[in-house]
Amino acid sequence: MVLKTDRRRAARPRKHPSGPAERRKPVLNRLVEHRLIGRVSLDEYQEKIRDVYDGPQGAILATCSMLSLHTSLGARLFRERKFDLRGARRILDVGSGAGQIARHLIKYSDKEAELVCFDLSHEMLRRARNRLRSARPRFVVADLTRLPFADASFDRVTCGYVLEHLPDARLGLSELSRVMEPGARMLLLTTEDTFSGAWTSRMWCCRTYNRRELAQICGEVGLRWDRELWFTPMHKALRAGGICVELIKE
């Protein structure tokens, strides 16, 4: 895996999370959902997100993940091999936050696997280092829309609740597809356009995604929507817990 340090940082146009699915959302969902991401440029929005995660909200992120059971339920995905890390050689953890998913990667991946964790926030990576207390991960400050990694660098990727901080999923998914080798697998978790998802959006200043439209976008960038995953049978029955899917690089 090679770091790329000479990628041009071109100005990015303002994009809006619009489309048929956006217009079909229930009125109450649209009223609750946070709208900043559709009103400012991507660079302005990212500055806001850095402030959110560098501050008190970021400081309690790990606690929120534990109380919402995302930490324990996420561990089940790896422990029961619903997302299988065995044999992985190079793993990328996208938007590592406080290291919630990275902790599972350290525990359930092969000991010789290389693990790279990146986040937009320096402060969140500092918190992750302190929580994980492991020499295995390499921590990198990076922007999901402009990754500093060479093509085909990774054979496993985890992207947990990061994509909703982009106005257009293509901005991040195309970059992730680029750095994945053919046949590589990604565990993607993101906030769905449900009423509970709208409240998540309100709290974390993010957007939500429609399941069908997101699957279509994944296909457009060469990521096959292989199978949907659920935390528990109850989550599947109630269609709860957001979008959780395994993708394969074509």
The angle at the Cα of 206, spanning 29 to 215, to the nearest 5 degrees, equals 80
How high does pLDDT run on average in the chain? 89
pLDDT at 70 over 90: no
Least confident of 139-143, 146-150, 227-231, 237-241: 237-241
Quickly list DSSP for 24-43. HS-HHHHHHS--GGGTS-HH
- Per-residue burial over 220-247, b if 16 or more Cβ lie within 10 Å, else e, is ebbbebeeebbbeeeeeeeeebbbbbbb
DSSP annotation of 49: H
Q: Which residue ranges form the domains of the chain, and what is each CATH number?
A: 45-143+152-249 (3.40.50.150)
Q: Is residue 121 within 8 Å of residue 142, measured between CB atoms?
A: no
Mean pLDDT of 198-223: 95
The alpha carbon of residue 52 and the mean position of all alpha carbons in its chain are separated, in whole angstroms, by 16
Instruction: Tell me the residue length of the chain.
Output: 250
Quick one: which H or E segment has residue 127? helix 122-132
Q: Could you tell me the pTM of the whole model?
A: 0.88
pLDDT at 71 over 90: no
pLDDT at 17 over 60: no
**What pLDDT shows up at residue 96?**
95
User: For residues 190 and 159, what is the distance between their CA atoms, to the nearest angstrom?
Assistant: 8
**What pLDDT shows up at residue 94?**
98
Quickly list DSSP for 184-249. EEEEEEE-BSSHHHHHHHHHHT---B-HHHHHHHHHHTTEEEEEE--SSHHHHHHT-S-EEEEEEE
User: For residues 81 and 91, what is the distance between their CA atoms, to the nearest angstrom?
Assistant: 16
Higher-confidence residue of 105 and 26: namely 105
Least confident of 128-132, 153-157, 219-223, 236-240: 236-240
**What pLDDT shows up at residue 14?**
46
State how far the alpha carbon of 249 is from the alpha carbons of 65, 74, 83, 107, 197, in Å: 28, 22, 15, 24, 27
pLDDT at 24 over 80: no
Query: Nearest to residue 126, comparing CAs of 70, 62, 82?
Result: 62
Query: Percentage of the chain surpassing pLDDT 70?
Result: 90
User: For residues 222 and 175, what is the distance between their CA atoms, to the nearest angstrom?
Assistant: 11
Query: Nearest to residue 91, comparing CAs of 66, 111, 67, 63?
Result: 111
- At 99-118, the pLDDT tens digits run 999 999 999 999 999 999 99
User: For residues 160 and 103, what is the distance between their CA atoms, to the nearest angstrom?
Assistant: 13
**What pLDDT shows up at residue 16?**
46
Mean pLDDT of 209-230: 96
- At 89-101, the pLDDT tens digits run 999 999 999 999 9
Paired tokens of 124: 């969140």
Q: Give the model's confidence band at 10: pLDDT under 50 very low, under 70 low, under 90 confident, else very high.
A: very low
